[in-house]
Amino acid sequence: MAVFKMSIAVLAMAFVVSIAPFAFAQSADSGNASGHSASSSMRSAGHSAEGAVSHTYHAAKTAAEDTAITTRVKMALHEDKLTHGQDIHVDTYGGVVTLSGMAPSARVADRAVALTKETRGVQSVKNAITVGSRSSMR
């Protein structure tokens, strides 16, 4: 968790450093009389940086949650007698799990979907499992 927080802090600092020149820049035509002062530019840049850090944090948090969901689904498939050892792939994005790969029967594919739906954190399941043997797909 400490590495995660450090990564977020490094990303935030990199972003702030990258926008700093724009925060301090003023055009030659605009003086303080135009109402667009350096302080308002800095405030705007600060709000932009805060928003970027927040967005980065939430994106990283979602990715970490998706990874945890994928791991839980893979463990459930591995521990089940019917789905153990099957060629079923698991991808998660925003809590939506996509199952793909091959299953020897509709029963195995249906069991994989049911196990996935029962897994903590899963919002919905997309079933893209192909039913049949590999030799029948050639």
The CATH number for 108's domain is 3.30.1340.30
Rounded CA-CA distance 11/138 in Å is: 47
Residues 58 and 78 in one domain: no
In a domain, 31, yes or no: no
Q: Is residue 30 in some structural domain?
A: no
Residues 74 and 125 in one domain: yes
Domain count, the chain: 2
Q: Are residues 49 and 72 in the same domain?
A: no
Asked if residue 97 lies in contact with residue 125, where contact means CB atoms within 8 angstroms, the answer is yes
On whether both 58 and 6 belong to a single domain, the answer is: yes
So what's the pLDDT on residue 113? 98
On whether the CB atoms of residues 91 and 100 are closer than 8 A, the answer is yes
Note the pLDDT of residue 19: 54
- Which is nearest to 91 in space by CA: 124, 47, 53, 50? 124
Same domain, 53 and 81: no
DSSP string, 113-125: HHHHHTSTT--EE
Q: What is the block-wise mean pLDDT of the chain (138 residues), using blocks of 10 residues? A: 56 56 50 55 60 71 90 97 96 96 97 98 97 65
Examine the domain organization and report whether 53 and 80 are in the same domain: no
**What is the reported pLDDT for 131?**
96
Specify the pLDDT at position 27.
47
* Domain of residue 46, residue span: 2-25+37-63
Residue 56: its pLDDT value, please? 76
Same domain, 52 and 71: no
Give a yes or no: residue 127 inside a domain: yes
Q: Are residues 43 and 84 in the same domain?
A: no
**pTM of the full predicted structure?**
0.60
